[in-house]
Structure 1
Amino acid sequence: MKIDRKKRNIIISLLVIIVVIVSSVLLLHKSKVDKEAASIKNKTALDTGELKKDDVKKSNPNSTTDNSKTGRVKSGGKEASVANKDITNKGKVQTAKQKQTILLIQQNAKIAAQEKPLTAAQVKDENTKVESSKDGLVVFIKAANFGSTAEIIKDNKKFSSYKYYQFSIGNKKISAIEGISKSKTTLFPVQNAGTEVVVKFLDQNKKVIKELNIKLSVR
């Protein structure tokens, strides 16, 4: 059976339309598959990034996330170091304040002691020290188990030529003869501060070559 030209053109047109439709359907399906694959890939990448961030945090507990979008991690070590430094500096400041407070207390105590009026006995004692020091010699007295202990503070330049010394009151000797280098001796009987005594200085033959009238002082 022979088909005419008109029918043949119609059949060809229908076949072309069918091919176009099928091709379109295939292209749409492929595009959808590609989109789904891309979506799955992106989700997988994000999940992987989150896991990496968690691993970084676990490996460095001091680190903090600087940008949640980029996943960039910034170490928190410097921040911790700065915080520790601030605490240390604060401690130093407190210590400095405590020291300053102690100094102020000490200064106030000194001022208070200076402003406190001296008793009559203290004034007398201070005057005695001044008078005695004119000759380069001060004698401090304190009680002892036997008699009193006298401590001699002297200017060695003024007394270097003498060899011995001895205490007396008038013609009564109240101490043994001591070498000039010995700074302490015992006075007997007991002597009190303010008492005027005679200190005799002797040469190497124990001959008296100098006498000083000294008032006994207390520290």
Structure 2
Amino acid sequence: VQLDDWPSDYRARHFRTRNVLAHVRTSVRESCDGQRLLYLDEVQSDWHADLVAQARGEWPKNERPVHAAPFAKEWPLLVLKLMLWRAQAMGVDALAWSTFEMQKRIWGPSRVPEALYKRTLPEAAKSLSKALGLELREIPIPFHAWRYGIKSSARGWLVIDLLGNPVTRPFAGRQQAERFAELIAEKIERKVPALMLAGLPRIRQIPFYGVGRLVDWTRPG
């Protein structure tokens, strides 16, 4: 989600593009009962994370100040709204996303925004479920058991064991490291939250703020 016309300038550490409000890493997965899902592997806002660090006095003094960003409380809801539209356009059965426990297994508890995955995303999903009449439930999905994690180093991306010890030479990219960690992992079943798209009329527009009513999503713009 990029705000090209926003008056201030912010450069995210993940991108060269200016004013990236939020970004999502996605994949298309199949549930244990054969349903296709647009799955949000990761939801993040570097901009708002940096603003929080700055407010806490944790922002490096040699870095330029971080300017205020919009959607301070609603950016996770904005992401879910956009991804809901994307999921319908792709023709999948549901929009699903990762949980705090799953993120913690990959990155460690200190690097995962607990409030985002435990409170903000679930509350946003409940609001959308109520406004659009969508079923919100847990779906079992096959995953790889993350007995190995990944971390960035000066030499590249490392695959590490539960004690933090590297098990391979560094990979050039994060995706390569993740792929290798998946290949050597065991398959397990996990339940993830999901908004079921069955019965949802065609989305024609998305409310800018809040969730609105069903008619606000489905009437021609």
- Normalising by structure 2, we get a TM-score of 0.20
Greater RCO, CA 8 A, separation 6+: 2
Which of the two has greater helix per residue? 1
TM-score normalized by the length of structure 1: 0.20
Pair member with larger Rg = 1
